[in-house]
Structure 1
């Protein structure tokens, strides 16, 4: 026996390649080995940036005695949840059903057929050692009961996540009820939702911004403003280099769990960009710009594509890179600037983190300060960032995940279109090219790539939805029909291979590897569900192509998830955002122009109704349906504002376009 992870492509699995545990990758061969040896399977699921995954690895998986027990009594399988979200979903459902909670690392004991019979998360070394003995004893002496329990768990979780039961049409009343529910759940003291730990509610913010724009709800906008300001000034945001951590361990956004995930930052980039679009708030614009810069600077991989995450730890210590003491500030900045920075960033002798150190927060509104203070702030940030670069740095999980890169493409495309930033525009197109040429193989998506090579895991529903939406964003950015065609390819696969036959979607394809159950989770959590991301792409594709069959599929699916939007809006944020776009139209805006940069194009982006699609380019450009039969009037750039393919009179005066977009009602 030997550890088999040395040949893995996953950075998380490679972290465990030197463990004395005889790890297997997830494979049919591993389960066959368990049957041959007549032992249970121990499935350990985690991800590279997970702090407690590292703790359990150091405590237990690097321990010779623990490893000996694992090797003698089990076939041990290590799974990267980011690489195999399908496997993670099945066993997380089982873990939540058995324990009432979930998390990572996830520890699952299963039969050689994969049926889970005991599940948990992190176990300290003494408890884990006892658990290994108890499970081995139960497998030896109470086999029939163990097998029956596993079968019962599989039966209980099978199809449990499918959207079924009552449906409801998407309506203004339904979305207003969802907003009312969110307002009741808002943390009115610190912003956001819920208590500690507190996660960035990025998809809810997108929903509320669209709702505000459609209804002029001041309350919806204020919820977004409060959360955005608290997060952007809090320790969850890197005040020196930009970028958001995964969550705050407290309710007031001060101390983060320090890992930075691609998906959080892509979704928050969209939220802050849209907040700036609707309010002209310079703070929102700065956070958006810095978050985009973080993505392209710190997550870009040499072979193209964005890396998955930065670790919570550096040199085995959580937060080592980011926390400061007053003395450290003085050492870098000198006494005067050091004291000023300690006050500005709320760094105290007592500390807000560990061992008297503090996580930097922004205690005052520096964006509105006089120029001399802004210049001082910028100078201090640069010096601290330079000093921080000499500290141990977090490791990076450099695998490229299709869906998360799709989220980044959409966010960067929106940022580039709205701000006119060529860097983010070009980056969006280049990232989309990576997905199209590396991850799309023979018409099907691969979930991950690393070092320029696509991995074996097949794409799941969220990959198809997020990448299709990304291709549609780039189609709008470039007026290149190729991207519209690629999005159609992905959506056709989604409808043909992931559909339930009743308007819903499974998370895995009908020809994918068979697991003990077929996952189908419509809830939005850390990322948009495959369900909601596919709906978003279906709605946008119809608006861009004119093919209403895709919109019909989206409408049926949204009706199925509508009760969830009302009852649990915090877990249906992206579905609700898609519903807002669908209820609004979405509007189809075509700008016929011979100029790459035109005032009408910029105004269309700044004033477009929620979820609108916008394409600008030469009239009758091949492969671009929205520009067909859209002539220039009087030889000038001309805007066509349409809804449901019924268009108002074209306009070519900027003030007329603004008035037209400002008068839209749903």
Structure 2
């Protein structure tokens, strides 16, 4: 049987199309082959921007000796974790339980019916060959024990993934979460814990909302310091904008260089919200540059957004981004090279590898024009280097995050081009990814994939559509979000009020995955909780609010014990505690002094904003909201209690920020 990945939709799978391994995609045909041939499955899971996935590919999957060992005894199946997060989640649960840690590439041996009996991550060639030999020997000589082991592991994991305790989203829960986060805070370098450090995007949203509701200075201080540390360190691309996946050290100096859409979308939203709260020039600049990066480097010809830029170029991690003093001299000459080296901390010994340094901008240069010119020269020189590959797969969930970020960030400082981009993305995803009323997970080059959408696809896309509805007033997006949420409640709802990751009528794996908390992006439960809460505020649908509150309560175990991994759930809890806070603007003309602009630019935790003519069709918040003496007016309602309408920006800002909110 030959390698079958040449026609795969996923760029990651296509990277393995020339391997001598007889790879197949995950699906009924591959699983049937394992059963018919009575062979165990070698499952390899990774993603296109993963550095160690490339290493294992070069060491093992391109090696004829390894390929022969695989093909002789196994049905090899390759999975893109971004295309099939359900498969990844189920087997990552097994990997973590069996080894104590997880990561990618993930390497599992499965029985023909899909139950794991070995699980691990990256394996060097020699160890991988030993595993293949041991697995083959066990299957041929100890099959009953292998089958029993796989069944036992599946049973134990199913029992262990039962839900923990529930806890309602109260002010005390939120206060307790802030105290826990404060105890884990790195006062020296900012961030939480030691190394590696990941951008805590959703936790930052929670901290900003908590500060707005309570006035708590600690929440704002942590959010400000983390945002500044990330933006000034090597994890942020000081030349072209955009954030890398994480910092390998505690000081935010050396990143793991891949740039993911989901990180940059969420961080764009965070920095826009931080600017709204503090009017920080740094926050405004980072939001602008991050949006520019997304539109320039991740946008596809169809108007959607690609998944990621690779960590490697020409097989070398960070090759595109790191600099030596000599390279600065070649690009700039002296004395600018020396001045730039001091500014960006490019040292003779290097801060990264092989004498090269990441670029850090720990303080703003005194001569802004000089830095602008220098930055342009360095970026032009960098473009002559090998560039990282782009995974141009379009993921529904992550594009939902991008739609929300661009719609909100575009309205806060007033950049209509960002809102236009969000609208083009939403129109493309709805037209292509919504098939017979159900979402598909991915597409590429205008061709939709077969993989079904999971819970966070529905939650994050609905969240993006609701933000876009508020930015544009277009009721199509409100209606589409409502339909997605209705489908999600029917297909993903769990008895405890939360949501399973996979649809009830979808493929049934050996373990039904359900994210316990928020990780790099909102979990299925918290993403749907957030969208349901926003939908309730926009429409008055109290059942949607009740389900949102039950969903947040279902994550009580993690919100209480590990709030770092419940950032979006806690942000949703803050929005629920603050409202619903609804702002309806009627008869307003867009402009720098308009009521609509004031509503978007005034910090208010969890507020929804709609604008349009009185009694605009399809917009419940505008119903029975007339002009005031013929003038535009804003109606502010908090917790289902409405203030008198106001007609000036000053009155609206005061109503949104009053101390008894």
What range is the shorter-chain TM-score in? Answer: over 0.9
Q: Secondary structure at the match of 1:419?
A: coil
State the match for 2:634 in structure 1. Answer: 639
Moved more, 496-505 or 154-163: 154-163
State whether structure 2 residue 178 is matched by structure 1 residue 179.
yes
The equivalences for 1:166-315 within 5 A come to 166-315=165-314
Cα gap change, 1:162/1:602 in structure 2, threshold over 3 Å: closer, same or farther?
Answer: farther
State the match for 1:515 in structure 2. Answer: 509
The equivalences for 1:607-622 within 5 A come to 607-622=602-617
The equivalences for 1:578-597 within 5 A come to 578-597=572-591
Contact 1:304 1:452 in 2 (8 A): no
Displacement, 1:117? 0.6
Q: d(CA) in 2 for partners of 1:617 and 1:210?
A: 27
Displacement, 1:646? 2.4
Q: Identify unmatched segments of 5+ residues in structure 2.
A: none
Displacement, 1:303? 2.2
Q: d(CA) in 1 for partners of 2:20 and 2:554?
A: 48
Q: d(CA) in 1 for partners of 2:397 and 2:493?
A: 18
Q: d(CA) in 1 for partners of 2:157 and 2:515?
A: 11
Displacement, 1:594? 4.0
The equivalences for 1:126-141 within 5 A come to 126-141=126-141
The equivalences for 1:299-338 within 5 A come to 299-338=298-337
State the match for 2:655 in structure 1. Answer: 660
State the match for 1:64 in structure 2. Answer: 64
Contact 1:264 1:526 in 2 (8 A): yes
State whether structure 2 residue 459 is matched by structure 1 residue 465.
yes
Q: Secondary structure at the match of 2:470?
A: helix
Tell me the alpha carbon deviations over residues 313-341 of structure 1, each in whole angstroms, 9 at most, x when there is no partner. 00111111001111111111111111111
State whether structure 2 residue 73 is matched by structure 1 residue 73.
yes
Tell me the alpha carbon deviations over residues 636-661 of structure 1, each in whole angstroms, 9 at most, x when there is no partner. 22110002332110000222111111
Tell me the alpha carbon deviations over residues 82-117 of structure 1, each in whole angstroms, 9 at most, x when there is no partner. 000000000000000000100000000000000001
The equivalences for 1:370-519 within 5 A come to 373-519=367-513
Q: d(CA) in 1 for partners of 2:588 and 2:536?
A: 25
Q: d(CA) in 2 for partners of 1:602 and 1:162?
A: 46
Contact 1:639 1:657 in 2 (8 A): yes
Cα gap change, 1:608/1:323 in structure 2, threshold over 3 Å: closer, same or farther?
Answer: closer
Q: d(CA) in 2 for partners of 1:124 and 1:398?
A: 29
Moved more, 585-594 or 107-116: 585-594
Tell me the alpha carbon deviations over residues 448-506 of structure 1, each in whole angstroms, 9 at most, x when there is no partner. 01001111101000000000111101110111111111011000011111011331211
State the match for 1:15 in structure 2. Answer: 15
Contact 2:580 2:640 in 1 (8 A): no
Contact 2:397 2:457 in 1 (8 A): yes
Q: d(CA) in 1 for partners of 2:347 and 2:155?
A: 54
Displacement, 1:608? 4.3
Q: d(CA) in 2 for partners of 1:276 and 1:608?
A: 9
State the match for 2:110 in structure 1. Answer: 110
Q: Secondary structure at the match of 2:412?
A: helix
Q: d(CA) in 2 for partners of 1:242 and 1:309?
A: 14
State the match for 1:526 in structure 2. Answer: 520
Task: Give aligned pairs, total.
Answer: 660
Q: d(CA) in 1 for partners of 2:50 and 2:102?
A: 14
Tell me the alpha carbon deviations over residues 519-539 of structure 1, each in whole angstroms, 9 at most, x when there is no partner. 112310011101100000000
Q: d(CA) in 1 for partners of 2:269 and 2:65?
A: 49
Contact 2:584 2:634 in 1 (8 A): yes
Contact 1:546 1:645 in 2 (8 A): no
Q: d(CA) in 2 for partners of 1:463 and 1:489?
A: 13
Contact 1:169 1:559 in 2 (8 A): yes
Contact 1:159 1:518 in 2 (8 A): no
Displacement, 1:37? 2.0
Displacement, 1:363? 2.9
Contact 2:413 2:601 in 1 (8 A): no
Displacement, 1:160? 3.6
Displacement, 1:586? 2.7
Q: d(CA) in 2 for partners of 1:105 and 1:155?
A: 25
State the match for 2:530 in structure 1. Answer: 536
Q: d(CA) in 2 for partners of 1:488 and 1:424?
A: 24
Contact 2:588 2:594 in 1 (8 A): no
Moved more, 564-573 or 101-110: 564-573
Contact 2:496 2:554 in 1 (8 A): no
State the match for 2:150 in structure 1. Answer: 150
Contact 1:209 1:221 in 2 (8 A): yes
Q: Secondary structure at the match of 2:510?
A: coil
